[in-house]
Chains A and B, each alone.
Chain A
Amino acid sequence: MAWVMGASFFGSFGALFLKIGAGKIQRSFASLLTNWRLMLGISFYLFSSVLFVFGVRKGELSVLYPMVALGSVWTLLWSKLILGEPLTRPKLVALGMILCGMTLIGLGAR
């Protein structure tokens, strides 16, 4: 379970760098390849999928897959801390619900 949670952590950095990189996209294919932020974002995603595969080897998919939702919690955090997006009440409510749901699933794990 720790591996899958780790995967969601690194995956959220993937989203962060894709977002930062996407703001700098130009109209040429070569510029996509030299956009280091995009490439870093994709690398984070790839690394996160290796961790996910590693983590999902053992244990129940019905418990491990929902842990991916933790990624949205990290992403909300980076959006606030690094991108300066406002952390509104609906976002906080959603964050609490996702964490509650994950705790419940953890309780239901064998």
Chain B
Amino acid sequence: MSTSSVSSTNHQQRRSFLLVVCCTIIGAAAQVLIKKGASALGANPTMLQTALAMVLTPALFAGYSMYGISTILLVLALRHGQLSLLYPVFAMTYVWVTILSVVVFHESMNPYKLAGIVTIVAGIAVLGREQPA
């Protein structure tokens, strides 16, 4: 995907790194908004009501807009950065979402969840090491 990395300068690589970090923070904040909006949906919404709510509920709409922005940032970052470096950074989203779940929604934390998150992030890092041919 990033065959241009040879010609990318250090400056561009650093900017790509920062872009991905931004993109993980925006992406995690988006998840919090999506969860907030989804929780407010009511007891038993239909699929259609859920779909409409994604456009009409401010929290859901904002959440998905931010999700879209973070995807565009990721694509921009991938133009100059190495996928194998940026992929593990991108997995930071899981870390932020876990922290925000505890801080914003007062969800419980335990060793199982912590170990699980660490294992998933490490797994995604391994996935990123696989260079596209």
Which residues does A use to contact B, with CB under 8 Å? 49-50, 52-54, 56-58, 60-63, 65-66, 69, 72, 76, 88, 90-91, 93-98, 100-110
Q: Give the chain A neighbours of B118 by CB distance below 8 A.
A: 101
- Distance in angstroms between the alpha carbons of A50 and B98 in the assembled complex: 22
Residue of B38, B94, B115, B117 touching A57 (CB-CB under 8 A): B38
- Between-chain CB contacts (< 8 Å), 29 pairs: A53-B38, A54-B47, A56-B38, A57-B39, A57-B45, A60-B101, A61-B32, A61-B107, A62-B109, A63-B113, A65-B31, A69-B94, A69-B123, A69-B124, A90-B127, A90-B129, A91-B130, A94-B126, A97-B122, A101-B120, A101-B122, A102-B116, A102-B120, A103-B116, A104-B112, A104-B116, A105-B113, A108-B113, A110-B108
Most buried by A among B47, B50, B113, B120: B120
B97 close to chain A: CB less than 8 A = yes
Q: Name A's interface SS.
A: helix
Most buried by A among B37, B105, B119, B124: B119
Closest A residue to B94 by CB, please name it.
Answer: A66
B79 close to chain A: CB less than 8 A = no
Q: Give the chain A neighbours of B102 by CB distance below 8 A.
A: 62
Residues A108 and B130 in contact in the complex (CB < 8 Å), given A54-B45, A56-B35, A97-B123: no
Q: Contact residue range for chain B?
A: 35 or more
A49 CB → nearest B CB, Å? 7
- Distance in angstroms between the alpha carbons of A60 and B116 in the assembled complex: 15
Which residues does B use to contact A, with CB under 8 Å? 31-32, 34-35, 37-39, 41, 45, 47, 50-51, 53-54, 60, 64, 94, 97-98, 100-102, 105, 107-124, 126-127, 129-130
Q: Give the chain B neighbours of A106 by CB distance below 8 A.
A: 116
Residue of A69, A97, A108, A110 touching B126 (CB-CB under 8 A): A97
- Distance in angstroms between the alpha carbons of A62 and B39 in the assembled complex: 14
Most buried by B among A50, A61, A69, A72: A61
